[in-house]
């Protein structure tokens, strides 16, 4: 038996026979064409672009009505990228100016867009470089159709198959799900890529980032895929096969149990109410929140409005997007102001300048907004105008100093004054909060708490900055540890600061959606969690089977623990106690 490990997606397991989809191709050709051939080369490129667009729309039409809304939303993102001037127009200019062949012209221009996303510090936004690769590869497949025809393997009934590929696009994931696959494994990808998010929404177990996956498996191999641990087993004996079949049976019972909690309140056994919110990126995602029982939105990322375009959105366009979200939901909607960055000239969110040595520590988030008030003010005006349509909250990202905060709050006051003078209605009491994701802010959380209406802990960046590691970097991501004593003490410090100031504190990083940390966070005093919608029901169950008062005493011992191994054992014991007491389905 062979066991291989990548990054697991979802918490399901699957059994099936391998279907290796090797899309490796010859090197992208580079050559010059004669002047009289340039026009036909441009037509060849535009034809490939049109066929790619038509294929994505065909896939969209095949999405069943009951599929998660993300299926449509992510394909829409790829369709929008096909309109991006870097992809749709600049290759044409390269052909006209340099007489490049279409494939090479596309590659050179797409590399510029990939470099932009690579230099963004935020892991979620940086992962969008994968979407650029996927869109460009689809066009290249059309251009190189004679030598590398599109994979016909995606057609037909694939029930019971585990697809093995170098990479998959969101459109591939939708198509494969429609064809009945049981799981997929890819060499590339990360836990927050569009394909990974869509796989979780569709309920497809997957393992991504398993390097050179297509080299390890053969068509017809019997595989077991564990989306929770990120393990793929090949060459199973009967004992292991029976074990995985039993786990699948337990999964079905578990999911039925969780679905019954959708309309139940998130209240601990000893009567503490917990607010469970969702993280969203697109206005259309509000359709999925009712399905998982979210009380509102704890993190609405606004960056999607600024990306894949040459000019930033104006106030009117932003107003419509924020208004649509506020109209769709009755709960609070926390709108995070623009969180692009990493030393760039702002051009709808694209970098045209030189790449800096350390973009992680550069001009991003609130720093960028303060240096570009013509970017910040229209967004604040749009949010405030939309606040008349619901319960809006403004959240400022990446605060690190009180001077930054005071500048931001002063601009908010000025924008309110301008709107009032113009006779434009807005909610003058819109809460303004801050993301605590920089160690400096977490240490001085009491100072920020005295000046803000709420705090939200962004654990993804907080962990990376505190431990000086990049969780997307395969060489060091093993050091990414949410249970590091310094991380727990910083989280505790922020929660305590909020409690002392009498303001709410939420947590919107990956820790909020991981049930392994729910009881620990409850014990630290957290009562507001914001996460990917598909994780809400499992977190709600943990909340409903927890005794907060008892956890607070146990958590104090964890905070005082200096031994990492012992600390982890203590956290595991918190979870085992709950499972034993309430006889949860494994």
Number of Cβ atoms within 10 Å of the Cβ of 97: 10
Say how many C-beta atoms besides its own lie within 10 A of residue 489's C-beta.
Answer: 13
256/82 Cα distance (integer angstroms) = 40
Measured distance CA(579)–CA(64) in Å, rounded: 36
Tokens 């004992």 -> residue: 239
Selecting among 69, 78, 194, 369, the annotated active-site residue is 194
Buried b (16+ CB within 10 A) or exposed e, 306-345: bbbbeebbeeeebbebbbebbebbebbbbbbbbbbbbbbe
Name every residue whose Cβ is closer than 8 Å to that of residue 28 and which is 6 or more positions away in sequence: 103, 104, 107, 140
Q: Look up 508 and say whether it is catalytic.
A: yes
User: Strands 206-208, 275-280: parallel, antiparallel or unpaired by DSSP?
Assistant: unpaired
Half-sphere exposure of 13 toward its Cβ, with a 13 Å CA cutoff? 22
First to last CA, the chain: 25
Residue whose entry in the numeric block shows the structure tokens 């096909």:
82
Its sign, for the CA torsion 18, 131, 376, 367, is: positive
Phi, psi dihedral angles at 244 (to 5 degrees): -70, -35
Active site residue 69: no
Residue 205 phi/psi, 5-degree rounding, is: -65, 140
Angle at 48 (CA atoms; ends 45, 52), nearest 5 degrees: 140
Beta-bridged to residue 275, according to DSSP, are 528
**Which positions ≥6 away from 145 have C-beta within 8 Å?**
none
Q: How far is CA 487 from CA 138, 387, 454, 465, 483, in A?
A: 42, 34, 20, 10, 7
Whether the Cβ atoms of residue 484 and residue 564 lie closer than 8 Å to each other: yes
Exposure class string for 35-64: b at 16+ Cβ within 10 A, else e: eeebeebbebbeebbebbbebbeebbeebe
* DSSP code of residue 390: S
- Half-sphere exposure at residue 458, Cβ-oriented, CA atoms within 13 angstroms: 26
Q: Could you tell me if 293 and 540 are in contact, meaning their C-beta atoms sit under 8 angstroms apart? A: yes
DSSP 276: E
| DSSP bridge pairs for 273 | 267
* Maximal C-alpha separation, the chain: 79
In sequence order, which residues have a C-beta less than 8 Å from that of residue 68 and are 6 or more positions away? 198, 201, 202, 288, 534
Measure the CA dihedral 183/190/542/256, to 10°: -20
Both tokens assigned to 473: 């970097």
Q: E strands of 420-557, at which residues?
A: 432-436, 454-457, 505-507, 528-531
Residues with catalytic annotation? Answer: 194, 508
């Amino acid at each position: 038996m062979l066991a291989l490990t990548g990054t697991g997606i979802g918490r399901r397991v699957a059994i099936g026979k391998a279907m290796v989809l090797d899309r490796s191709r010859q090197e992208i050709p580079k050559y010059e064409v004669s002047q009289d051939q340039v026009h036909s080369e441009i037509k060849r490129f535009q034809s490939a672009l049109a066929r790619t667009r038509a294929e994505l729309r065909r896939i969209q039409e095949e999405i069943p009505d009951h599929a998660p809304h993300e299926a449509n939303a992510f394909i829409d993102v790829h369709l929008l990228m096909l309109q991006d001037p870097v992809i749709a127009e600049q290759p044409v200019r390269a052909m006209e100016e340099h007489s490049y062949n279409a494939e090479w012209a596309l590659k050179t221009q797409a590399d510029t867009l990939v470099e932009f996303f690579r230099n963004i510090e935020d892991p979620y936004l940086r992962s969008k470089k994968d979407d650029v690769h996927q869109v460009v590869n689809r066009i290249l497949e059309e251009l190189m159709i004679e030598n590398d025809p599109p994979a016909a393997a995606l057609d037909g009934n694939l029930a019971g198959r585990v697809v093995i590929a170098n990479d998959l696009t969101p459109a591939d994931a939708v198509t494969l799900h429609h064809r009945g696959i049981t799981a997929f494994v890819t060499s590339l990808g990360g836990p927050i890529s569009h394909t990974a998010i869509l796989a979780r929404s569709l309920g497809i177990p997957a393992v991504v980032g398993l390097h050179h996956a297509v080299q390890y498996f053969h068509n017809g191999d019997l595989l077991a895929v564990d989306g929770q641990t990120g393990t793929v087993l090949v060459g199973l004996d009967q004992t292991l096969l029976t074990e995985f079949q039993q786990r699948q049976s337990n999964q079905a019972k578990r999911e039925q149990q969780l679905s019954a909690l959708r309309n139940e309140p998130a209240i601990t056994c000893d009567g503490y109410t917990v607010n469970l919110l969702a993280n969203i990126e697109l206005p259309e995602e509000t359709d999925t929140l009712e399905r998982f029982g979210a009380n509102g939105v704890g993190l609405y990322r606004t960056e999607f409005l600024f990306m894949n375009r040459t000019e930033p959105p104006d106030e009117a366009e932003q107003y419509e997007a924020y208004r649509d979200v506020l109209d769709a939901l009755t709960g609070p909607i926390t709108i995070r102001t623009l969180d692009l960055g990493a030393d760039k000239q702002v051009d709808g969110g694209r970098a045209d300048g030189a790449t800096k040595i350390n973009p992680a520590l550069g001009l991003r988030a609130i720093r960028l907004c303060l240096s570009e008030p013509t970017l910040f003010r229209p967004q604040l005006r749009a949010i405030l105008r939309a606040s008349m349509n619901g319960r809006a909250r403004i959240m400022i990202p990446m605060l690190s100093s009180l001077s930054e905060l005071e500048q931001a709050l002063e601009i908010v006051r000025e924008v309110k004054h301008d709107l009032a003078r113009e006779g434009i209605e807005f909610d003058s009491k819109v809460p303004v909060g801050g993301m605590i994701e920089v160690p400096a802010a977490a240490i001085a959380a009491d100072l920020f708490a005295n000046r803000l209406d709420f705090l939200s802990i962004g654990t993804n960046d907080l962990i990376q900055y505190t431990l000086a590691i990049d969780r997307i970097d395969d060489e060091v991501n093993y050091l990414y540890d949410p249970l590091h004593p310094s991380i727990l003490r910083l989280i505790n410090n922020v929660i305590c600061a909020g409690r002392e100031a009498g303001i709410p504190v939420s947590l919107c990083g990956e820790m909020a959606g991981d049930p392994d940390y729910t009881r620990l966070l409850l014990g630290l005093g957290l009562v507001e969690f914001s996460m990917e919608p598909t994780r809400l029901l499992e977190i709600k169950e943990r909340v409903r089977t927890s005794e907060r008062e008892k956890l607070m005493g146990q958590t104090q011992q964890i905070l005082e623990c200096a031994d990492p191994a012992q600390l982890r054992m203590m956290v595991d014991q918190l979870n085992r106690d709950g499972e034993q007491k309430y006889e949860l389905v494994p």
